[in-house]
Amino acid sequence: MLAENPIHIANAEASDARSEAHLQLTHLEKRYGDFLAVEDLSVSVRRGELIALLGPSGCGKTTTLRMIAGLASATSGAIRVDGREIQTLPAHARDMGLVFQSYALFPHMTVERNVAFGLEMRRNSKDQIAGRVAKALELVQLGHLAQRRPRELSGGQQQRVALARALVIEPSILLLDEPLSNLDAKLRDQMRVEIRDIQQRLGITTVFVTHDQVEALSMCDRIAVMDKGRLAQIGTPQDIYERPATPFVAEFVGRINKLPGRGTSANEITVGDRRFGTAGKGAANGAVTAMIRPHRIEIVPRGTPADNRNAAEGVITRATYVGDILEYMVALEGGVTLAVETATGGHRRNFALGDEVELRWAHEDTLVFGADA
């Protein structure tokens, strides 16, 4: 998916130069009593950009979305659309489509009437409404259930109605609060493509809340990772995945091994008595935590000629077959155990429990953070 659309990433960077901020949050803060749900959040979303708001449960994603939509007031900070402050604008005048985490479908209306609601508010003609509603329902594959009530639908079907209801009004800004959380893997993939497609076609600026990193990485132009109400990092999927700014981000966007060590120079650390080259930016002479993604480590038989990668000898203590990958746990001498993932496939050499092996990984795959991580 990442490799699939290098063009729009290039586009995104080009428009960055023009820096055309459609939706801009500056020092946004939301306080519930003593509790800071969102703190000093500054994000600038370009016109037509799909940005993910990624973070663990309770980190303030929904709260942020509600402030943008005008359903909750910010304690301080500013929200601008096209440079204009919109805090005083009521929700109904903001022209934003919102998919609620809890769907919020009108229980007293049929699916069709639910989807038509926004168009009726915009005083479209009856024929036009009927046509657009039918198209929107087709898009989410629910045309056949148009006359049902929401309570007669499954959770995933309700979620798709909510999506259709927000999409059909073709808002200038689309806010999606985990719109695919209740769908099965296949449908979710289809919906991702659909959302991305409509979003690109209509150039709708979109904020996509999710706690699924795969979703964020695969669909979005940029990702804003939130942690306890604060912005931990914002950047392209590659930035976030390859160059996480904090250990929190590194751990949140995928599995990762942690190795306690000491920094010896900007691009070298020691773990026990082993020396490893790193991605750089390491702090010399301090306790550090090195992080390596399991699938970036290669397992080779002992005695394989050395290359310019990091190497460590170990013994396989566990091997788990998970379909498309094999998960190994490899104990290094000195008590550290690393997880390693390799793709499965006939041509690959599989290792067995107790095999003595050697691990190899590139210097730039060794991320280094301060030890307080």
Residues 99 and 176: beta-carbon distance below 8 Å: yes
Q: Does 62 bind Mg ion (CB under 5 A)?
A: yes
Smallest gap from Cβ 60 to another protein, in A, equals 18
Give, in order, the Cα–Cα distances in Å from 48 to each of 18, 198, 256, 312: 13, 11, 33, 46
Applying CB under 6 A, among 46, 61, 94, 165 the residue interacting with ligand ATP is 61
How many binding residues for Mg ion (CB under 5 A)? 2
CA distance 107 to 149: 7
Smallest gap from Cβ 156 to ligand ATP, in A, equals 18
Strand partners, 51: 207, 222
Smallest gap from Cβ 53 to ligand ATP, in A, equals 8
| Cβ-based nearer residue to Mg ion, 12 or 231 | 231
Contacting ligand ATP within 67-126 (CB under 6 A): 101
Smallest gap from Cβ 150 to another protein, in A, equals 11
What mask, x for binding another protein by CB under 8 A, covers residues 63 to 102? ------xxx------------------xxxxxxxxx-x-x
Strand partners, 23: 45, 81
> Which is it for strands 50-54 and 205-210: parallel, antiparallel or unpaired?
parallel
How many binding residues for another protein (CB under 8 A)? 25
Applying CB under 6 A, among 24, 63, 157, 199 the residue interacting with ligand ATP is 63
Q: Does 132 bind another protein (CB under 8 A)?
A: no
Of 55-63, 197-205, 264-272, 345-353, which segment contacts ligand ATP by CB under 6 A? 55-63
Specify the 3-state DSSP secondary structure of 92.
helix
DSSP letters, 192-217, are HHHHHHHHHHHT-EEEEEES-HHHHH
> How many residues can be counted in the chain?
373
Smallest gap from Cβ 107 to ligand ATP, in A, equals 22
Instruction: Tally the C-alpha atoms within 13 A of residue 184's C-alpha that lie toward its C-beta.
Output: 3
| Cβ-based nearer residue to another protein, 104 or 287 | 104
